[in-house]
Amino acid sequence: MDMSTLVSKITDSEVEVMRVLWEAGYELPISDIRRTLEQTSKWKTSTIKTLLRRLCDKGVVLATKKEVFYYKSLVSEAEYNEYTTQNLINRLYSGSAKKLVASLLGSKKLDDADIEELRNLFKVDDRDE
Amino acid sequence: MNETVKLLLSLSLSGSILAMLIFTLKPFTKHKLSKSIQYYIWIVVLLRLILPFSFETSIMNELFYGNQTPVVETSKSKVQPVVGTAQNISNSNSLPNAQENLTNVVNNAGAYHDINFHELFNQYSVYIWLLGVIIALMVNITGYAKFLKYLRQSNISATNRDKEMLVTLLNGRNNVRLVRNRFLNIPMLIGVIRPCIIIPDINFNEIQLKNILLHEIIHLKRFDILGKWLIMIATSIHWFNPLMYFIKKDINNSCELACDEAVIKNLSPSEKQDYGDTLISVVARHKYPTGILQVTMLDEKSGLKERLVAIMKHSRKSKKVIILSVILLGCLIFGALYLGAGVGTGKNTPPYIYVNAENQGAKVARMGIYSWKYNGENIEADSDDPKNFKYKLDNSISVKTGQQFVIGTQKLKKGKKYNFSIEEISEYKDGKIILQDKRVPASFVNGDLGMTASQDAGEYIYTLRLNFKDRGIVSYGFVVKVATPTYNLTEISKYKTPYVGDNSKVSAIANQLPVPDNYFKQQYISMVTEKKPYKLNVFYEAKKGASHISEWPIVDHNNATYSIMNKNALVLFCMIDNLDEVTFAFRDSQSDGKLDDSKYDTTFTFTRASIEKQYGDISVLAGKLDLLQNVLSK
């Protein structure tokens, strides 16, 4: 899986947890994460645990077992922001923006088989002129 | 049906008929006609959908306004009007036959006041439509604006190679910017006023770059972005028309095909091959994040396939085909004009005439004989003379002597305005015509006719023959009840005082004097009592929530306001012994709790001498109240 696929699956709540990790800049135990999140949200420890587990499952956060579990972000904030902007632009384009723009092609991707088919089809006849 | 709804449906129907025609012809014309012509044909349809322009004899106008076959009213048993027995409003038992031949006309006027369910629905349908339009426009424009905003954040400047290529292709003309974008996957042209080509930040080779730029430059030169806006506006206006979504798709398709055609027109076969290959390679590079890809890709593939086939099959069109194309385009434009729109400039019945006076609801004049041109037909409606009509309260207006009233085709400044000229105006009192030199002539103010009520109290029937240019001549009638302003002299005389300085008595008198019309109320008084001449100022201002419909401020003396103030002055001189001069001041607005002289823009001043000159010795009148009452009621 490439980076964009990883990032695309992070939900808004999970981003809140990610922010704590980004802000710290180093790995944190769950007690620290909870302490920071307590100021901004009403999440219970179990909720935070679930969010962290999901992030680990998605491969965005790495958990290392020392005396307790330490969590570390594998995606930087900059990478995440880059991705969201790109995602936003593409969404807006596929939505209403496409209507007011003259583009070379449509907005949807074709798979390799389709492209191969088109390549084989497209042969301009030399005797044409 | 509401006129807006009619117009809208007629535009939608017109456009749809043209579109259906194009869809039907498409299998035959698709590969024969040039793609540009096919695109222009769609532009004609778009304009038909947007522009409410139409000839009056168009099919749509006929369809939406022509089916109201006019009822021609005739009165075979027409009663000869006999002066003296003619009926007016005070005469409630009318002759049965006279009533009968007027029934049609009565219904005509009465129907206007019935707001039925159908009408209500039509009113709401306009708002529902408008809401749809606003939502569609908002979604599209905000989406686009957001897109631009985020795009701008991620734009990076194009390489020198890119820029040089663009300049070469544009032949030195440089009216378009070129930037690269890190996140964009497809090259595009954006903006109408400040166009900008944006290409993905990918290492294109020379040939690819050239082809991409060529394509976008052609879009630029053909003003295709303007076309895109037209499509967006048309689909927003006709959101309720399902055909619009097919039309939109086909226009976008033919726009690209026409653009490709213009690009490859002068290319050699190998260059054409390169151009098509570029299209394929851009789509192959087209990396997309997951999550947006759920939508079917079949569309995209068939669209691109169609373009590639068109490039392969492209051949120069023979002269015959070009001539045929132009003829077809001409036919379509003619068709679009002929189909037209339901603009409804023509009505099969003449407009209503409304009579408005200060602070009264608009009254409707009754329609009499008319001859009316509609859609080339001439409609004659026979009826009795308006002077013999039986008028209802709805057709009569109450005014004071000399008061101004306004007649026009608009009800309280709402509705369609028709211009007219006067053929004839007659005024009857007690069945007798009033000679022209006894009347104040009517005058036009902003297309409405301003008239002045008689100086004598009573009931008047006005009959008008109005000429609506190119449409016909219509006769109307209405009643004007003229009342003299009343003075309760027994009450007023209780406050009779020798001194103008007697504030409470003077203000009580001023307060009981009649106001010129219901629009004004008397609010303040002020006096000059230090030295002779002793003066009194009486101030009038607008009532809360009242609106002024006739001319204001008043300049001449030939009006109700002046004549009432003249009589008020007489009463004041009779009631206040040492008063030398009185001024009545008016403002067309409300005061804010204190007197501000500068806000009063209309004043009438009377001196004791000028009033005596007019009415004779004031001390005589002041002594005998019945004598004064007599003078006042004249």
pLDDT in tens, B202-242: 888 999 999 999 999 999 999 999 999 999 999 999 999 99
B248 and B272 both lie in a single domain: yes
Q: Is residue B130 part of a domain?
A: yes
Domain boundary pick from B483, B503, B525? B483
Nearest-neighbour CA in chain A from B108: distance (Å) = 50
Q: If contacts are CB pairs under 8 Å, which of residues 154-213 in chain B contact chain A?
A: 154, 182-190, 212
Collect all residues of chain B within an 8 Å Cβ-Cβ radius of residue A58.
Answer: none
Q: What is the DSSP string of B162-180?
A: HHHHHHHHTTT----EEEE
Q: Is residue B177 part of a domain?
A: no
The pLDDT of residue B606 is above 90: yes
Give per-residue pLDDT as tens, B232-254. 999 999 999 999 999 999 999 89
Domain boundary pick from B424, B449, B483? B483
Best mutation target, A100, A123, A127, to test chain B (most B CBs within 10 A): A100
> Average pLDDT over chain B, rounded to whole?
81
The pLDDT of residue B394 is above 50: yes
B262 and B372 both lie in a single domain: no
Tell me which of B138-152, B264-278, B341-355, B385-399 is least confident.
B341-355
Q: Report the SS3 class of residue B526.
A: strand
The pLDDT of residue B510 is above 60: yes
Best mutation target, B236, B301, B316, to test chain A (most A CBs within 10 A): B301
B370 and B434 both lie in a single domain: yes
Predicted local confidence at residue B439, as pLDDT: 73
B126 and B251 both lie in a single domain: yes
Predicted local confidence at residue B99, as pLDDT: 41
B364 and B331 both lie in a single domain: no
B476 and B511 both lie in a single domain: no
* 8 A C-beta contact, residue B621 and residue B615: yes
Q: Is residue B557 part of a domain?
A: yes
Mean pLDDT confidence for B122-126: 78
Collect all residues of chain A within an 8 Å Cβ-Cβ radius of residue B139.
Answer: 96
Q: What is the CATH number of the domain that holds B406?
A: 2.60.40
Predicted local confidence at residue B119, as pLDDT: 67
Number of structural domains found in chain B = 3
Q: Is residue B166 part of a domain?
A: no
From the number of C-beta atoms within 10 Å of its C-beta (0-12, 13-18, 19+), residue B623 rates as exposed
- Measured at the CA of B498, the angle between CA B495 and CA B500, to 5 degrees, comes to 85
Other beta carbons within 10 angstroms of residue B547's beta carbon come to 11
Domains of chain A: 3-75 (1.10.10.10), 78-122 (no CATH)
B497 and B624 both lie in a single domain: yes
- Alpha carbon distances (Å) from B367 to A90, B345, B370, B398: 64, 20, 8, 20
| DSSP 8-state assignment for residue B599 | G
B186/A105 CB distance under 8 A: yes
Tell me which of B30-34, B99-103, B504-508, B520-524 is least confident.
B99-103
Mean pLDDT confidence for B119-143: 88
CA nearest to B405, candidates B466, B459, B449, B467: B449
B548 and B609 both lie in a single domain: yes
Predicted local confidence at residue B47, as pLDDT: 93
Q: Is residue B73 part of a domain?
A: no
Q: Is residue B133 part of a domain?
A: yes
Domain boundary pick from B428, B456, B483? B483
A-B contacts at Cβ under 8 angstroms? 170
The pLDDT of residue B84 is above 50: no
Q: At residue B188, what are phi and psi to the nearest 5 degrees?
A: -155, 160
* 8 A C-beta contact, residue B453 and residue B480: yes
Mean pLDDT confidence for A4-31: 82
Q: Name which residue leads in pLDDT, A128 or A53.
A: A53
What the block records as the tokens of B477 is 């009638």
Mean pLDDT confidence for B111-116: 51
Residues of chain A with a CB closer than 8 angstroms to some CB in chain B: 4-5, 8, 83, 85-97, 99-112, 114-115, 118-119, 121-126, 128-129
Could you say which of B140, B293, B308 has the minimum Cβ distance to residue A99?
B140
> CB distance from B150 to chain A under 8 Å?
yes
Collect all residues of chain A within an 8 Å Cβ-Cβ radius of residue B300.
Answer: 105-106, 108-110
B453 and B509 both lie in a single domain: no
Q: Is residue B80 part of a domain?
A: no
B596 and B613 both lie in a single domain: yes
For B371, the domain range is: 346-483
Tell me which of A10-19, B147-156, B177-186, B372-381 is least confident.
B372-381
Q: Name which residue leads in pLDDT, B435 or B509.
A: B509
B354 and B460 both lie in a single domain: yes
| DSSP 8-state assignment for residue B268 | -
Predicted local confidence at residue A3, as pLDDT: 56
* 8 A C-beta contact, residue B500 and residue B529: yes
B461 and B589 both lie in a single domain: no
A122/B277 CB distance under 8 A: yes
Could you say which of A92, A110, A119 has the minimum Cβ distance to residue B301?
A110
Q: Is residue B129 part of a domain?
A: yes
Give per-residue pLDDT as tens, B263-298. 998 889 999 999 999 988 888 876 554 433 333 345
Mean pLDDT confidence for B519-534: 87
Give per-residue pLDDT as tens, A49-65. 899 999 888 888 888 88
Range among A12-16, B12-16, B402-406, B447-451 rated most confident: B12-16
Give per-residue pLDDT as tens, B305-347. 889 999 988 888 888 888 989 999 999 999 998 888 777 655 6
For residue A105, give the chain B residue with the closest CA.
B186
pTM of the model: 0.59
